[in-house]
Amino acid sequence: MRTFSKILIANRGEVASRVIRTCHEMGIGSVAVFSDADESASFVSEADEAVRLGPAPSPESYLRGDAIIAAAQRCGAEAIHPGYGFLAENADFAQAVADAGLIFIGPSPEAIALLGSKQASKEVVSKAGVPVVPSFDLEAPNDIVYPVLLKASAGGGGKGMHVVRSHDELAPALESAKRIAQTCFGDDTILIERFVESPRHIEIQILGDSHGTLLHLFERECSIQRRHQKIIEESPAPNLPIGLRDAIANAAVAVGKAAGYSNAGTVEFIVAPDGEFYFLEVNTRLQVEHPVTECVTGIDLVRQQILVAQGAALEISQEDVHQVGAAIECRLYAEDCDNGFLPCSGRILDFHVEPAAGLRVDSGVESGSEISIHYDPMLAKVITHGCDRSQALQRMKRSLTRMSALGTITNREFLLRVLGHSEFVAAAIDTNFLSTHATSLEKQPASENLTNRALVVAGYARYQQRTEQRTVLSSIRPGYRNSRWRDASETFRWDEREATVHYRAASDGSLTMRVDEGEVHRVRLTEGSATGTCAIQIDGHRQRYRVCLRGERSLVQADGRSFDFATKPRFPKRDAMRVEGSCIAPMPGRVVQVLVENGVIVAEGDTLLILEAMKMEHRIQADRSGVVQGLDAVAGDQVAGDQVLAVVNAE
């Protein structure tokens, strides 16, 4: 068996940090690669060495296999770990690594090619006696029975998947699926298969070595999804009959053996409401959700990957693998769940996780991190482990409630809504859970009491900030007015609302405060500082808050809710007037297709342009019927967030 002294991680974000951590625990040197957008990212500083690949776009950086191999050779790394995404399931890259005399930490190029193609893998699986979802031939459109699912043959992660329910929807969905598949995976081959309604998504972790041993590490439940991409995973799968679980696990092992698989991989299945299960695909890499398996089995999968790549035989047998307790993982994304799960970019101003029993956080960000439009918007993975599902769930809810991710919109509050839903608690789940319960999962306005408390905290922090910054007339309190309630005040705006917080200092160092004309509160800081983690006592009730002040913004984390207050300036600028009928870019991105031209008549809901950002396509649609004007964008243009792309004139 050979031993690695240095490994290059051909990925970014939290998975790069994850692999670096195990490398260091094993005494192995680590090399990170980065794009210009990631030069100051946390994973770059965590590695022993780091090499620049190129500009921010993935094709010019993280998808440049030649540059990655050259970086490994330059640094003296013996092996490359691909993480997940980018080149992780690219057989040509794995072969190029081998041809360069390096070790690819993953399955063989042959296995990746065989199982990485959904079409080829289904043929192998069928021969192994494992049930597969029926497929259709795009060359015979009249034989297609709807609904069907379009998906990239060479990729995963839900990228480019489309559910098509009629023949009229097929052509535009196919065009979009091909375009996304080419962008994300470099291969626009599309597979079309029967769409199974309301299934559960169950996957099996497999692990094999080059000495003929292949075993499974039990199952993961991955049914809570949006846009065919998982956001909550757990192990063991709740309410899954033991006999069905064993049958699925045995099928996964059969698939791995039929393909001569080694290293870590995941075999994915869907389970229909009638209990029948079907092979879905094989992910020939480490999975995003692998931590839940590590928590319940106690096996470090990255360590096993490295040992297998070094030529070692697995030191464990199937009988040695046991599930202990239960684990849940929530993916923290920068996205607006109440606006179609639209990805968000921007800067994380405050990222804080409170340590707790059974808690693990795999993070790719820290306070000050920039969320780029060029990559997937996942910020971190929060994992909790408990003696059973109930304890793991309670620990997860507490951890998310107390965590802070202020500065950009995240799905943290939405995750808490899902975790607290009675049907989720009862494990009555399938892949349609989010759409089925969309109404009950909608964001509810914060209570007046909680909002007022957050305003008091924001006002207290602003008062303390101004007190610390005063440099003249130090004997006079900042904002002094010759009026009982005008000693100092601050007007805040949020969600099209506005409130004024009045405060007056008392001789004992506390503040007497009220919101608008409401009740009077006595406020005192009891621990910490007015920003960061602080304990503030309001009318004798002491609670912890996270507070972040940036320019006009006052961000407060209270009782699991995030508040983003803007301080109203004394002389506000006039808001720019936007022409009625304007079609706006929802975020910065690249125009990939223009479907209309100036002067044409469109109907409400017609698509004018297609914008690509953060590995997604966004359709810019007319919000009313009329004539298109002011459209000057062409394919390839980079546009800014909130930029007016066209105007639909109703006249």
For the annotated catalytic residues, the residue numbers are: 285
DSSP symbol at 60: G
User: Residue holding tokens 């063989």?
Assistant: 108
d(CA 615, CA 376): 6
Q: Which amino acid is at 273?
A: P
**C-alpha closest to that of 434 among 424, 444, 447:** 424
Cα–Cα distances in angstroms (integers) from residue 647 to residues 479, 576, 582, in the given order = 45, 16, 4
Alpha helices in 310-402 (DSSP H): 389-402
Cα–Cα distances in angstroms (integers) from residue 145 to residues 134, 161, 166, 176, 271, in the given order = 10, 17, 9, 20, 20
**C-alpha closest to that of 321 among 335, 301, 339, 336:** 301
DSSP-assigned letters across all residues of 554-572: EEEEETTEEEEEEEPPSSP
User: For residue 147, is the peptide bond before it cis, meaning its omega torsion is within 30 degrees of 0?
Assistant: yes
Q: Who's near 143: CB < 8 A, 6+ residues apart?
A: 136, 137
CB 43 within 8 A of CB 364: yes
d(CA 384, CA 330): 9
- Facing residues of 150 across strands? 162, 192
User: For residue 343, is the peptide bond before it cis, meaning its omega torsion is within 30 degrees of 0?
Assistant: no
Encoding tokens for residue 394?
């309670």
**C-alpha closest to that of 223 among 209, 202, 238, 208:** 202
Q: Which amino acid is at 90?
A: N
- Facing residues of 612 across strands? 590, 617
CA 493 to chain CA centroid, nearest Å: 29
d(CA 276, CA 642): 47
DSSP-assigned letters across all residues of 614-635: TTEEEEEE-SSSEEEES----T
d(CA 621, CA 602): 10
d(CA 541, CA 641): 42
**C-alpha closest to that of 375 among 650, 76, 612:** 612
CB 229 within 8 A of CB 616: no
Q: Which residues of 197-224 are buried (b: 16+ CB within 10 A; e: fewer)?
A: eebbbbbbbbbbbeeebbbbbbbbbbbb
Residue 424: enclosing H or E segment and its boundaries?
A: helix 422-425
